[in-house]
Every structure is written in structure tokens, then in C-alpha cells.
Amino acid sequence: MKLFGLLLALISLNSLAYFSEIPSSQIDHRPALNDLDSNENLILPLKSEISDALQFFTPVKSQGKRGTCTIFSSIGYFETLLIRENKADLSIDLSEEWLEYVVMTRQDDEGSTSNRNFKKSLFFGLVKESTWPYIGQKWFVEPDNLGPLATERCEFLRDTESFMACLLGHRDPRLLRETDNFVKANDPEFFEIREEARQFKKDFLKGFYSKRKDYRIDSLSQVKRILLKNYPVIVGMKLYYGSWNSSKTELHDIQPRDKEKWYQGIVGYPAPGSRDRKISGEKGGGHSVLIVGYDDTIEITNRLLMEDGSYKEFKTTGAYLIKNSWGQKGFGKNFTYKGKGLPGFGWVSQKYLHELGTFYSLVR
């Protein structure tokens, strides 16, 4: 019955609409050099081949209530990368739960960065979703009122320094680096999971991708060149609630929310002087998504309430098509591209991401 309940929860998770973010302390704000306008000799196509790129992308999943957006964008990145390089097909489904566990083994707070996720994935490997299914619930919110699974896996660590890492990563963090004999004796299921990760690393990762100190992309022209090759790019950003039209737009009294744009998956530019730029700048967390491609002809218009009480309309030209991790029933549930429904995808203003985002990629 416990297994049936877990499977039922997992099946329903992707159908739910969640809005989750990472703490602002985890935002790596290092925008790429904007060399798109200053270089007269730089000539790039007005748009990438988005239809071609989309064939390498798996469907949108849901991170649930956990602050795991960078984990989802990183796992989505590896799924797309392996499909793009003919090492997997569209049925590939890698485990976010595993990567979150690996990252959290030496942390005491939620959230991660793309740099950290790439390094941990290349070092420890990855596993299939079916091997270790994702759980969208936060265990650390009520440490004195743990559920059955959390109690089973973490309660015995309560008076140790590993307790919070266990609640964050949903398993004893010490197991990752323990000997095979120790893991076999204490958690044989985890032993099999770790063995699969090691084999995955050997088969798909080791020797194929260069290890770097920093996977950040230095210039915007390089971002677009990577997308022109139909490779994915990750972008992390400060989350401006009003521009995304999330539920926190009204929660923080920024301005009335435009739910139509939320469901259409349209994200505008948080202009300076707007209540969104000020309030979200102070209270907002961070977010990370996967970029499919770009279109320099797309126009995005958003109406913002300014700090002086007036409304202004802002139009920006150029957008990135993104794959999100908030499920398929909320943000972008009505998004379409060339007549095809792509629930959970969306357009984000290039101006927003160029000024306030940081881009990452394993390939150049």
C-alpha cells in the first residue's frame, strides 16, 4: 500500500500546477557580456531552428513544492543533450531525486546552482527516474512532524549534523561517500542506486564532456551560437513575480495579475521604476529554466504599475523559448508553437534575461 500511494502521488505530480523558487542566496548573478549590438561584424540569424530543437526535448515535469528548479533544468539539460547526441531517445527520464540528494549531502539549506549541478552530475553520475522517483514534498518544513518515509530515512539522524541534509535530500547523506560494504549493510536499495549512477557515468558522461571550473557562458553571442546548433542552454535569474504574473504578484501587492499571460507562458521585462522591479527585487527568490531557442522578431508587451502609481506599457523585441519545471497545468498550460501545444513551455523577454540572467552550458 505504501508503494501504491507513492506511485499515485508521482503520477499526479506532473498534472499539478506549482510555483516554487530557490532562495535569493542561491542566485548566481553574473550576466554575460552583451556583444550583440556592439560588434558590427557579428551577424547571426534572426531566429534559431526551434522546431528542430524541440525534437530533442522531453515533456515538462513539476518540481512540486521543493526549491529544485536548478535540479530540474540540469536534469532536463542532460536528457536533451543525450538525445541530441544520439545516446538516448525521447523515452529517457532521469531522476531529479538522485541529483538533489547528491547536491544536498553537504548543505543545510535548499537550492543549488547550475555550476554545482553539472560538477556533481559528471562526478557521481545519474540514474533513471524509475530507479529513484521524485518526491515533490519538503520534509524540512516540519522537522518535528515527519511523515512515515521521512521518519524511516532520517529520524535516526535527528541529533546529528546530517539531519538537515537528510531532510533536504530525502536520504542519509553519509551513504554517498561510504564504502560498498557499509552501504550494502545499511541501505541495500541505495547500493543499487549508486551502482547505476556509476555505470551511467562510465557509459554516457566520463570522457565525453570537459570538466570546467565554471560552466557560465561569457557572451550573449555565444549563447545564441550554442542555440543555433540545437543544443540547450540553462539560464538562472532573479524571479520578478509581476513579469511572470505568478500568484505572488498579488500576494506582495505588486499589481493586478494577468492570468491570461501566465497560462499563455508569456514573460515580460521588469522595467526599472516599476513596483515589480522594486518589490520582487527585495522579496523575490530565484529560478532556473532550460532554453530551447531564440526568436529576435517576437514582441512581448507588458503593462506595469510604476512606483509613482501610474501604469506604463513596455514592449521588448526578442524572446527565448523556455522549458519550465512548474508542471503543465499552470504556467504555460496554453502555450503553443506553430499550432502545437507545448504545456509548461513559454516565451521570456530577451531583455529580461540579458540584463538579469546568467547562462550555462556544458558544450561550446
Q: What are phi and psi of 358, to 5 degrees?
A: -130, 130
Boundaries of domain holding 266: 23-360
Distance CA 100, CA 138 (A): 12
Q: Worst-scoring range by mean pLDDT, 22-36, 49-63, 261-275? A: 22-36
Residue 268 located in a structural domain:
yes
Q: What is the pLDDT of residues 5-20, one digit of tens each?
A: 443 344 445 545 556 7
How far from 214 is each of 30, 330, 362, CA to CA, in Å? 12, 33, 10
pLDDT band at 357 (very low <50, low <70, confident <90, very high): very high
Q: Residue 108 CB: number of other CB atoms within 10 A?
A: 13
Residue 61 located in a structural domain:
yes
What percentage of residues in the chain have a pLDDT greater than 70?
94
Look-up of cell digits 556592439: 38
Which residues lie across from 299 on neighbouring strands? 317
Query: Which residue, 359, 227, 237, is CA-closest to 288?
Result: 237
Q: What is the pTM of this model?
A: 0.93
**What pLDDT score was predicted for residue 364?**
86
Residue 5 located in a structural domain:
no
Q: What is the pLDDT of residues 275-312, one digit of tens each?
A: 999 999 999 899 999 999 999 999 999 999 999 999 99
Q: What is the pLDDT of residues 125-141, one digit of tens each?
A: 999 999 999 999 999 98
Q: Which residues of 174-213 are buried (b: 16+ CB within 10 A; e: fewer)?
A: bbbebeeeebeeebeebbebbebbeebbeebbeeebeeee
Query: Which residue, 100, 84, 118, 122, is CA-closest to 22?
Result: 100
| Count of the separate structural domains present in the chain | 1
**What pLDDT score was predicted for residue 10?**
41
How far from 261 is each of 18, 83, 279, CA to CA, in Å? 16, 31, 20
Residue 8 located in a structural domain:
no
Residue 295 located in a structural domain:
yes
Residue 18 located in a structural domain:
no
More confident residue, 348 or 109: 348
Residue 311: DSSP 8-state: E
Residue 16 located in a structural domain:
no
What does the pLDDT average to over 107-126? 94
From start to end of 150-240, where are the E strands? 233-238
**What pLDDT score was predicted for residue 37?**
81
Q: What is the pLDDT of residues 42-101, one digit of tens each?
A: 889 999 999 999 999 999 999 999 999 999 999 999 999 999 999 999 999 999 999 999
Q: What is the pLDDT of residues 174-210, one digit of tens each?
A: 999 999 999 999 999 999 999 999 999 999 998 888 8
Contact criterion met (CB below 8 Å) for 22 and 111: yes
Query: How confident is the prediction for the chain on average, in pLDDT?
Result: 93
Residue 2 located in a structural domain:
no
CATH of the domain at 336: 3.90.70.10
pLDDT band at 40 (very low <50, low <70, confident <90, very high): low
Distance CA 152, CA 157 (A): 10
